[in-house]
């Protein structure tokens, strides 16, 4: 049971502002993911929440209580480090029980709690081992176990999966999601991997240069990015961008000129007039190969992934990425025609802000918990 | 007194050429020729003095009385081993080594933690604290004798005078302790240097994880820093012990082993035998005993250190 509020948090390292006023509200039992490119301040923000970094200004509150002056151990948080930071000279059991030992918990009770955590993570056979005798995934689980034993109100994860290989990462991702459900705890998770962000988060916080670009559910960020940065950052391969000229704008949408004809994008066209230049954004997976399509391109590179195929197209001086299904037979240097559904396109003004879509995507407001059939019935 | 380890490359003599997976060949006679000169020199360096010491230890050999000569059998050894002075010297050696080790390792660890902290002028402070190690033992001991511990002119005497305390005549009232202080002053910087570099390799994440787990500075030192330093400490102990067993200059320039035998260690005892009593035979026997003692210590140390160095 814990909520977290950040009010205008600023972090200043000797004159350079790394965090430039972040506001955030984390609800109880929410899984919040901080995502952003390297150096955007996401780890610093997490370390400030943990109490490992001081806060230059602003207020951090846990359950409504200001904790700026509270030490890291007394905030009721537990953190899983990117490097795991296991104590190399202690066994798995001692590693997990270290916080209890410091808190002078009697040995029997300590062992009981460690065993309980080990059971959740299937670590029981490894309790007598030293960290160096464990594999990467096992070390990761021990690090999580060490956090669980403390029974924290909020879990903090600092890029916990980045040292694992791809297969293990997928497995741990699922395990973390399961753990979140099982422990019913508030979790904050830092990553630069948008797949982790999209799959695990109830709420994603996109950061860039110490500023929050957008806060929202994964589907909201995907379908209604607030600006061009978020649009380009979320989604893989990256969204295609093309400079377009406005032909006209009214309440039903904005007409823009494309190489193969005009196209009406259903976004609010307030303040846009004919002749303006906007940026059209369209995701690779929303481009469709079509013999009669208005757009053409020459294939530069083909990446076949089996299930899907990525085509890297060139048209004049613009480049497009198109994700088609796995069975396209095209070859490099083929000329292809393609089209898209204007409802899936985004328009951005010169300062990068998105024009709001007229209709909201039906999944944009779904929260990850609603993906689970059980959650509706137990009244959360 | 410590023999260099037996060169293992000799074991390759006569072994036919082998091939490594990299395709390089090892062993064979080319290696013998290349290593030969260095190994021969090392062997001569080690074996000639050792052989001579052994030879003299079985001889009657007195520098001022050439009439005393000839094969002595075990006489030098029996005379030496029944001499209570030898056991006093041995005891002093162990006390000296033990105390200096304790002071320099414990002090060095604490200082290493201190000098790891950020503070103004840390670079210069680090340089100064390491400086005693670069002072020659004779010079260092003379400075201590004449400027610090001197009962009339010394800084300590002046300090205790200021406080109205009785003046201590260090070298006559507590000779061994004085020498321990001087030697510890010289060797603490060495321990500090090694332990400081070891402390710098401690993972910050571990310290932060411990802080999150509720560890205060003391708990972090005890549960995280100290175990991390274990290996470095064992290396320090080994290296220091090798040098501390043969401390001589500090004793020579301060107490000359006295009063009586109060500050005579094994090295100084051998010196007394050879160059004050002119009894080369007896001194050589003492030397052989010192070699045996040093090797016993070395075997134990190398074993424990080797165990610690295994990952």
CATH number at residue A276: 2.40.50.140
Q: Output the CA torsion B9→B11→B13→B17 (10° steps).
A: -80
Instruction: Report chain A's terminal Cα–Cα distance, integer Å.
Output: 13
DSSP state of B224: I
CB A320 within 8 A of CB A280: no
B200 and B261 belong to one structural domain? yes
Q: How far is Cα A31 from Cα A203, in angstroms, rounded to an integer?
A: 7
CB contact under 8 A, A52 and B211: yes
Q: How far is A52 from chain B (nearest CA, A)?
A: 7
Q: How many angstroms from the chain centroid is the CA of residue A54?
A: 25
Interface of A with B in 114-173 (CB under 8 A): 132, 146, 150
At residue B103, the pLDDT reads 95
Q: Are residues A218 and A265 in the same domain?
A: no
**Count of the separate structural domains present in chain A:** 2
- Residues of chain A with Cβ-Cβ distance to B213 below 8 Å are 73, 98-99, 102, 146, 150
Query: Are A100 and A215 part of one and the same domain?
Result: yes
**CATH (domain of A37):** 3.40.50.300
Read off the tokens for B101: 């080790």
CB contact under 8 A, B213 and A132: no
| Angle value at C-alpha A171, between B210 and A126, nearest 5 degrees | 50
CATH number for the domain spanning B127: value is: 1.10.3720.10
B6 and B104 co-located in one domain = no
Instruction: Establish, for the pair of chains A and B, how many residue pairs have beta carbons separated by less than 8 Å.
Output: 60
pTM exceeds 0.80: no
The predicted pLDDT at position B1 comes to 43
Q: Choosing among A54, A81, A117, which should be mutated to test the B contact, i.e. which has the most B CBs within 10 A? A: A81
Contact flag A103-B214 (C-beta cutoff 8 Å): yes
User: Touching check for A50 and chain B: CB below 8 Å?
Assistant: yes
What SS3 state is found at B178?
helix
Task: Clarify whether residues B21 and B112 are in a common domain.
Answer: no
pLDDT at residue A328, as a whole number = 87
**Both structure tokens of A14:** 């000797």
Last residue of a domain, one of A229, A245, A271: A229
Q: Give residue A322's pLDDT.
A: 92
Indicate the number of domains in chain B: 2
* B134 and B43 inside one domain: no
pLDDT of residue B16: 55
For residue B227, the chain A residues in CB contact (below 8 A) are 87-89
DSSP string, A146-167: HHHHT--SEEEEESTTTTS-HH
Q: Are B299 and B169 part of one and the same domain?
A: yes
Question: Can you tell me the distance from the alpha carbon of A330 to that of A309, in angstroms, rounded to the nearest whole number?
Answer: 10
CA distance B16 to B221: 53
Flag whether A353 is in a domain. no
Give the C-alpha separation, B246 to B74, whole Å. Answer: 25
Report if residue A154 sits inside a domain. yes
What pLDDT score does B10 carry? 44
The whole domain housing B151 covers 76-309
End-of-domain residue from the set A229, A262, A285? A229
The beta-carbon contacts of A208-215 under 8 Å, at least 24 apart in sequence, are A208/A36, A208/A37, A208/A40, A208/A233, A209/A20, A209/A40, A209/A41, A210/A11, A210/A17, A210/A18, A210/A19, A210/A20, A210/A22, A210/A40, A210/A41, A211/A20, A211/A21, A211/A22, A212/A22, A212/A23, A212/A24, A213/A36, A215/A24
Using CB atoms, which residue from A72, A88, A146 is nearest to B211? A72
Q: Do B227 and A89 touch (CB under 8 A)?
A: yes
Domain that holds residue A284: 236-348
A182 & A211 share domain: yes
From first to last of its 311 residues, chain B has per-residue pLDDT tens of: 444 444 444 444 445 556 666 556 666 677 788 888 999 999 999 899 899 989 888 888 887 887 877 887 888 888 888 888 888 998 999 999 999 999 999 999 999 999 988 888 888 988 898 888 888 989 989 999 888 888 888 888 888 888 888 888 888 888 899 999 999 999 999 999 999 999 998 888 899 899 888 888 899 999 999 999 988 898 898 888 888 988 888 899 988 887 888 888 888 988 888 888 888 888 888 889 888 888 888 888 778 777 776 65
Q: Cβ(B97)–Cβ(B180) under 8 Å?
A: no
Q: Which residues touch B147 (CB under 8 Å, ≥6 apart)?
A: B153, B154, B155
**Is A369 domain-assigned?**
no
Instruction: Look at residue A312 and tell me if it is in a domain.
Output: yes
B19 interfacial to chain A (CB closer than 8 Å): no
Report, as ranges of residue numbers, the positions in chain A whose pLDDT lies below 50.
373-380
- Round to whole Å and give the CA distance between A372 and B124: 63
Structural domain contains residue B226:
yes
Beta strands in chain B (DSSP E): 18-19, 25-26
B214 touches chain A (CB under 8 A): yes
Mark yes or no for CB contact A72/B219 under 8 Å. Answer: no
B210 touching chain A per CB within 8 A: yes
């Amino acid at each position: 049971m814990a909520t977290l509020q950040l009010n205008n948090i600023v972090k200043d390292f000797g004159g350079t502002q790394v965090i430039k006023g972040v506001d955030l509200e984390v609800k109880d039992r929410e899984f919040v993911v901080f995502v952003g490119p390297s150096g955007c301040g996401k780890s610093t923000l997490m370390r400030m929440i943990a109490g490992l970094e001081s806060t230059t200004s602003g207020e951090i509150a846990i359950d409504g209580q200001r904790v700026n002056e509270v030490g890291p151990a007394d905030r009721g948080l537990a953190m899983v480090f990117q490097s795991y930071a296991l104590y190399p000279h202690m066994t798995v059991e001692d590693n997990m029980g270290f916080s209890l030992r410091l808190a002078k918990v009697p040995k029997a009770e300590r062992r009981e709690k460690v065993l309980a955590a080990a059971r959740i993570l299937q670590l029981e056979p490894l309790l007598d081992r030293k960290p160096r005798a464990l594999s990467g995934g096992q070390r990761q689980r021990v690090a999580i176990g060490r956090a669980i034993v403390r029974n924290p109100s909020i879990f903090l994860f600092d890029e916990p999966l980045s040292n694992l290989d791809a297969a293990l990462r997928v497995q741990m991702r699922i395990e973390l999601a399961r753990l979140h459900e099982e422990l019913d705890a508030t979790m904050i998770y830092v990553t630069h991997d948008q797949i982790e962000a999209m799959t695990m988060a109830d709420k994603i916080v996109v950061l860039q240069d110490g500023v929050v670009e957008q806060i929202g559910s994964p589907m909201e960020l995907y379908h209604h990015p607030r600006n061009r940065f978020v649009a380009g950052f979320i989604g893989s391969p990256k969204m295609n961008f093309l400079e377009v000229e406005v032909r006209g704008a009214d309440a039903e949408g904005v007409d823009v000129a494309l190489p193969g004809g005009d196209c009406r994008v259903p976004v609010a066209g307030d303040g846009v007039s004919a002749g303006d230049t906007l940026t059209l954004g369209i995701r690779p997976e929303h481009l469709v190969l079509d013999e009669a399509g208005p757009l053409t391109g020459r294939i530069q590179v083909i990446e076949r992934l089996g299930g899907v195929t990525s085509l890297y197209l060139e048209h004049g001086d613009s480049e497009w990425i198109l994700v088609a299904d796995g069975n396209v037979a095209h070859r490099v240097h083929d000329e292809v025609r393609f089209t898209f559904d204007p409802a899936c396109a985004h328009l951005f003004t010169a300062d990068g802000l998105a024009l709001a879509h007229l209709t909201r995507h039906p999944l944009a407001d779904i929260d990850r918990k609603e993906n689970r059939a059980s959650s509706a019935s137990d009244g959360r | 007194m410590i023999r260099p380890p037996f060169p293992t490359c000799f074991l390759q003599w006569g072994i036919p050429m082998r091939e490594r997976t990299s395709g390089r060949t090892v062993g064979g006679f080319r290696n013998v020729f290349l290593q030969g000169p260095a190994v021969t020199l090392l062997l001569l360096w080690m074996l000639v003095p050792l052989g001579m010491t052994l030879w003299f230890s079985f001889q009657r050999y007195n520098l001022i009385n050439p009439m005393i000569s000839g094969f002595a059998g075990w006489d030098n050894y029996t005379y030496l081993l029944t001499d209570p002075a030898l056991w006093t010297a041995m005891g002093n050696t162990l006390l000296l080594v033990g105390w200096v080790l304790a002071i320099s390792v414990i002090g060095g660890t604490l200082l290493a933690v201190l000098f790891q902290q950020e503070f103004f002028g840390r670079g210069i402070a680090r340089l100064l604290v390491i400086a005693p190690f670069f002072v020659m033992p004779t010079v260092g001991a003379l400075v201590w004798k004449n400027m610090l511990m001197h009962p009339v002119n010394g800084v300590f005497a002046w300090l205790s005078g200021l406080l109205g305390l009785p003046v201590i005549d260090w070298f006559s009232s507590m000779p061994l302790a004085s020498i321990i202080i001087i030697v510890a002053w010289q060797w603490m910087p060495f321990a500090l240097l090694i332990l400081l570099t070891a402390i710098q390799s401690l993972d910050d994440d571990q310290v932060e994880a411990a802080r999150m787990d509720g560890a205060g500075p003391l708990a972090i030192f005890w549960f995280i820093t100290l175990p991390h330093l274990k290996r470095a400490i064992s290396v320090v102990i080994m290296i220091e012990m090798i040098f501390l067993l043969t401390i001589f200059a500090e004793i020579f320039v301060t107490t000359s082993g006295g009063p009586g035998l109060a500050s005579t260690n094994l090295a100084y005892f051998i010196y007394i035998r050879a160059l004050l009593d002119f009894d080369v035979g007896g001194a050589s026997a003492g030397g052989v005993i010192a070699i045996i003692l040093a090797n016993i210590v070395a075997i134990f140390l190398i074993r424990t250190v080797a165990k610690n160095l295994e990952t």
